[in-house]
Each structure stands twice: as C-alpha cells, then as structure tokens.
Amino acid sequence: MIRRVLASASPRRREILATLGIAFDVVASDVDEDALGVGLPPVELATRLALAKARDVAAREAGFVLGADTVVVAGDAVLGKPRDDVDATRMIARLAGAAHEVITGVAVVGGGFCEAVAVSTRVWFRALDAATVARYVATGEGRDKAGAYAVQGVGAGLVTRIEGSYTNVVGLPAAETIALLERAGALEGWP
C-alpha cells in the first residue's frame, strides 16, 4: 500500500485532497517560511518553500510527501500571511479594485522522486471602501491565509473574476497536484 503524507496543517489542503478521494496522513513541516524566501521571485519562492516542506517531512516520515506553499503577488509585492489585523487591512486594501496573482508551489518527494511545480491564477477584487475592508478583516477568516483572504468563505464576495485554477486560490491546485502525484507513482488507479 502506498503511504502519502501531507506536509501541511492547512485544513483547506486536507479538504481538497479528501474531495479528490486521496487519503493522506498529515505531518506538519517545521520549515521557517520567513527565513527561506527572502528576495526570491514569487514562483521560485513558492516552489522552494513547497520543496523545503516536503523534504523536511520526508526526512522523518516514509512514503510520498506532498508539500505546498501559496503566495499572493500584488504588483511587485509578495503578500504572505498577515502578521495581525492591521497588516490584513493593508493587504485587502491593496488588493481592492485590482487584479493580483495567486501562486502555489507544489512538491512531491519520496521513492526516489523529487519534483516541484508552480501554478498561477489571476484574481480580480471589486472596489472596496474602508468600512467594507474593516468588516471583512473583522471576520478573522483571512488571518492565516496568504493575501489575508479566503476565496472559499466570506472572501468570495470580494472576488469578481478568477482566471485559472480555483483550487489554487484555495491553497492547492487540484489537477496539477494529481498530475504530480501520478508522475511520482504515488497514485494507483486514481480515480
């Protein structure tokens, strides 16, 4: 039997995998995201962090390890998870009325396989006034998410358009993850 391990504590990533019918054990990575990606271009940052998380857990766990990391890019700024509600307010205000990129790096390590890919999705926010931004931030749903919002929650009301993978914006691009797991030999007869 093939053992698969998700190197993430993200409930959203677990939900996407469960929806796809793929069983995973969950072992959170100990990688310090802030220390690893200083000054890297966004695609390289996302893939490097995904690979680091997968390698970290693979060093402790047997099987195929899936790592992922999502960043939001607005103009030339990379938006990770907000430090606090003030930071979240700044991020949401920056995204309001404009388009941004959501980039997720996905990596699989195990069984002699090691590969990472990046998926980019373009997202447009409607114009938001300061009161709407404050009310959204007060919901708290974006506190642990890159870009300070959750497209699968109340944050869906901020988004006017998505070009690319919806599940990528949630935190794990489903089709690309399946393809990567298949290349690794980590899926038998899916679906």
- Domain edges within the chain: 4-184
CATH number of 4-184: 3.90.950.10
Q: What confidence score (pLDDT) does residue 191 get?
A: 86
Rounded Cα–Cα distance for residues 107 and 46 (Å): 10
Q: What confidence score (pLDDT) does residue 188 get?
A: 81
**Which residues are CB-contacts of 68 (< 8 A; sequence separation ≥ 6)?**
7, 8, 10, 13, 50, 53, 104, 105, 106, 107, 171, 172, 177
Prediction pTM value: 0.95
Enzyme catalytic residues: 69
In tens digits, the chain (191 residues) has pLDDT values of 899 999 998 999 999 999 999 999 999 999 987 777 678 899 999 999 999 999 999 999 999 999 999 999 999 999 999 999 999 999 999 999 999 999 999 999 999 999 999 999 999 999 999 999 999 999 999 999 999 999 999 999 999 999 999 999 999 999 999 999 999 999 987 88
**Cβ 89 vs Cβ 134: under 8 Å:** yes
